[in-house]
Amino acid sequence: MYGLQIPVIVFKSLVSRQPRACSKNIVFVPQIDYRVESILEKVALIDSTLIFHLFDERIQTGKEKDKEDEKSRYEDIPYELHF
DSSP 8-state symbol, 48: T
pLDDT of residue 1: 46
User: b/e per residue, 18-30, with b = 16+ CB within 10 A?
Assistant: ebeebbeebbebe
| pLDDT tens digits in sequence order for the chain, 83 residues long | 444 555 555 556 666 677 777 778 888 888 888 888 888 888 888 888 988 999 999 999 888 877 777 777 888 888 777 76
Q: How far is the C-alpha of 19 from the C-alpha of 71, rounded, in Å?
A: 31
pLDDT of residue 64: 84
Please indicate, yes or no, whether the overall pTM of this predicted structure exceeds 0.85: no
pLDDT of residue 26: 86
For residues 31 and 23, the answer to whether their CB atoms sit within 8 Å is no
| Dihedrals phi, psi of 26, to nearest 5 degrees | -70, -20
